[in-house]
Amino acid sequence: MRSTTDVAGARHGVAVGRRPRVWPVLVAWCGIVAALVLLVAVSNQLSKGEYPGPDHPVHLGILRGWYQFDAGWYEIIATRGYYLVTGQSPVAFFPAYPLAVRALRPLFGGNVPLTAMAVTFACGAGAVALFTVWVRDRLAPPAARWAVALLLLYPYSWYLVGAVYADAFFLLFTLAAFVALERGHPVLAGLLGAVAAATRPVGPAVVVGLAVLAVERRGALRTLSEVAPEGAGRLRRVAHHLRLPCGVDRRRMRPADAGVLLSAAGVLAYSGWLWWRYGDPFAFSTVQRYWDQPTGPVTWVKAHLWGNILLHFPSKSRYLLGCLLQGALTVGALLCVPRVARRLGWGYALVVLIGMGLPALGSKDFQGTGRYLLAAFPIFAVAGEWLAGRSRAVRAAVLGTSGALLLLWTHLYARGFYVA
């Protein structure tokens, strides 16, 4: 009997083939890693960009180009801990990734940057493997293969290779939590989700997504189409199309399902510590005003971005084009939320909606949202389905353009240009 994913693949007019296997994908990933490491080593020797980066007392050799921008903050947390001053402060960065670096640095002779790069690489490889496992269980084989290819060649996937940033760590534990829940381990999912939620400010996306997925797995999520009046034909059709949730049938739930709520501990623990230590449970958000993006309408409407476009586009074209690309990716991801909900369920749709919605509101210019989209992993699944149904020329154009941008953005990052 054909599975629903096989039927979905046939509906797209794509021949059903072999599912992607983890080891071949990891071999391909290592090839991409080797190319990017070589590119960074060469690019970092060229003239530096706007932010050449601090000179580090530890010789980093060919890996020097991976130590850029926020890497310094993560090293401060891993070595000196947190502090809060009137100005930019490390409390803006959640603790799980730098604390993991602190715990593992003895294995690398106390070399914190090298430890952080190793953690990023290991987490990136683990995330690629888990994404392969996750996507092949949900899509027809051709769509699964294209989804994996899109992740590997995504323009900001260099953050999964060696950059001293928390994105690979966050993606690994987010994927691990959802895979654990899908395999019937809600308590383990909650614990893994707690680590993810203690890694990035968008941790609520993981908490809410896991909770809703646990309800969906029990068939307990009530939709609006079930309660809409019989006479509301158009409303019922729209509600049925979007599967809009409106309640929970608690009779179908099991006590163990509450285990996913442990994921909230990651956010609550950090906020509670900030409250105890500094009197502000949201200090990670409060200090954003020292990065010129305070919470409020000016940031929400991207006044900083539009002002730069109108007044300084010729002198800041590279930076502004990068912001516009990331803004387009963010808007595109949010527009895909209904598609994710229909195809994968509202648990995964909320991962995308909250995971991209929060940074879209909190960023003054969309800078950084390109790499944040890595954690909105369901987007790659629906994009893989779309790509599987396109012609060979379209697939080559999409992957070729994405791969070229990956090389270009990695090159600029290694030189110290602020591209994400």
For residue 200, what pLDDT is reported?
94
What integer is the mean pLDDT of 262-268? 96
pLDDT score of 224 more than 50:
yes
Q: What angle (nearest 5°) sits at the alpha carbon of residue 165, between those of residues 341 and 138?
A: 25
CB 126 within 8 Å of CB 196: no
- pTM of the predicted model, to two decimals? 0.90
List the structure tokens of 100: 């993991």
pLDDT number for residue 20: 80
Phi and psi at 248, nearest 5°, equal: -130, 135
- CA–CA dist 407, 381 (Å, integer): 23
* pLDDT tens profile 34-52: 999 999 999 988 877 666 5
Q: Are 381 and 375 in contact (CB under 8 A)?
A: no
Does 167 score more than 90 pLDDT?
Answer: yes
Q: Is the pLDDT of residue 182 over 60?
A: yes
- Residue 5 clears pLDDT 50, i.e. is over it: no
Query: Is residue 418 predicted with pLDDT exceeding 70?
Result: yes
Contacts of residue 185, defined as CB under 8 A and 6 or more positions apart, other chains included, come to none
Q: Determine contact, residues 194/266, Cβ cutoff 8 Å.
A: yes
Q: How many residues does the chain have?
A: 420
Lowest mean pLDDT among 71-80, 120-129, 411-420: 411-420
Question: Mean of the per-residue pLDDT values for the chain?
Answer: 88
Question: What are the Cα distances from residue 39, in Å, to 155, 406, 415?
Answer: 14, 11, 11
Q: Binning pLDDT at 50, 70 and 90, where does residue 228 land?
A: low
Q: What pLDDT does residue 184 have?
A: 93
CA–CA gap between residue 42 and residue 243 (Å, rounded): 50
C-alpha triplet 198, 199, 200: angle, nearest 5°: 105
pLDDT confidence tier of residue 242, bands split at 50, 70 and 90: low
Average pLDDT of the segment spanning 364-385: 94
89-103, 149-163, 240-254: lowest mean pLDDT where? 240-254
What pLDDT, on a 0 to 100 scale, did the predictor assign at position 230? 54
Q: Is the pLDDT of residue 290 over 60?
A: yes
Percent over 90 (pLDDT), the chain: 69
Tokens matching residue 303: 């006044």
4 has pLDDT over 50: no
User: Using CA atoms, how far apart are residues 405 and 419, in angstroms rounded to an integer?
Assistant: 11
Query: Would the pLDDT of 240 be above 80?
Result: no
244 pLDDT above the threshold of 80: no
- 329 contacts 370 by C-beta, under 8 angstroms: yes
More confident residue, 249 or 127: 127
**What mean pLDDT do residues 199-225 have?**
88
Confidence of residue 298 (pLDDT cuts 50, 70, 90): confident
Q: What is the mean pLDDT of residues 257-280?
A: 96
Residue 231 pLDDT greater than 90, yes or no: no
Q: What 8-state DSSP symbol labels residue 55?
A: P
Where exactly are the structural domains of the chain? 19-218+253-415
